[in-house]
Amino acid sequence: MLNAIGSKVDLSDGEASDYHYLVADLLESKTVLQMREYTHHGDTTCFQHCLNVSYYNYKVCRFFSLNERAGARAGLLHDLFLYDWHTYKRPKGERLHGFTHAKAALRNVRENFYVSDLESDMIEKHMFPLNITALPKYRETLVIVLVDKYCGLLETVIPRLKKLSSLFVKIGAGFGKASAK
Ligand SMILES: [Fe+2]
Ligand SMILES: [Fe+2]
């Protein structure tokens, strides 16, 4: 079962999700699945993050009658840089991961898949405005810029809130035991 963060829709099931048909080939690709080996935000893998961005890109593009196929596919490929950025040793002179990984992802994507100009723009410029010179050319690129940040925030905040709430439950249970004595 594959779910985007905050959604119960099974994205691995073509029966349950129109989304699935748009990315079925990518979801079976070894190169895409390789992203499961790398953590990205908190405990979230790069694959799960890309799935989250892909699904919400698809939903937002569909809502605004934009290119939902490009939204889904570029979302799933946008962070295909294929290394663990936490431990990555930058060659001398190379800029920080935040500035370089979008281009690295696009390079890997082009080596492995066909991508349209629109999808390329979405992948290459998803880090705007950090990469201030990579100005989005399409409305779909603005969507991925926002959805990527939204998903990154959810992936960072939700696990912390869960930990915090389980801590409160434990503290509450401790008080319960103490007052029962
Ligand atoms: Fe990224
Ligand atoms: Fe991302």
Give the model confidence (pLDDT) of 119-156 as tens digits: 999 999 999 999 888 899 999 999 999 999 999 999 99
What whole-number percentage of the chain has pLDDT above 70?
Answer: 99
What are the domain boundaries of the chain? Answer: 18-180
Pairwise pLDDT comparison (98 vs 55), residue with the higher score:
55
Fold held by 18-180: Hypothetical protein af1432 (1.10.3210)
Cα 45 to middle of ligand 2, angstroms: 11
Mean pLDDT of the chain: 92
Q: Integer distance in angstroms from the first to the last C-alpha of the chain?
A: 45
3-state helix, strand, coil in the chain (%, to 5): 60, 0, 35
Q: What is the pLDDT of residues 29-55, one digit of tens each?
A: 999 999 999 999 888 999 999 999 999
pLDDT value of position 172: 81
pLDDT of residue 164 exceeding 90: no
Cα 100 to middle of ligand 1, angstroms: 9
**Looking at the DSSP assignment, which residues form a beta bridge with residue 45?**
39
